[in-house]
Amino acid sequence: MLLKDEVSEAWMQNMAMEMNLSETAFVFPKNDHFEIKYYTPTVEIPLCGHATLASAHIMYSVGLVPTDRPIYFKAKGGDLVIHYENGFIAMEFPEYQVSSTEIPVNFESLLGFKPIEMYKSEANWFIAIAENQKDIENCSPNFEALNANGLGHLMISAKANYKEADFVVRCFVPESGINEDPVTGSAHCALTPLWAKKLNKSNLVSHQISKRGGELILNYFNNKVKIKGKAITVFKADLAI
CA distance 166 to 46: 27
Let me know how many helices (H) and strands (E) the chain has, helices first. Answer: 6, 15
Residues 6+ apart with CB under 8 A from 99: 119, 120, 121
- Distance CA(45)–CA(52), nearest Å, equals 12
Scored b (16 or more CB within 10 A) or e, 217-235 reads ebbbeeebbbbbbebeeee
CB-hemisphere CA count at 13 Å for 68?
0
Alpha-carbon distance 133 to 206, whole Å?
12
Does the annotation count 122 as an active-site position?
A: no
Active-site position among 23, 92, 175, 180:
23
Q: Which residues pair with 90 in a beta bridge?
A: 83, 228
Active-site residues: which are they? 23
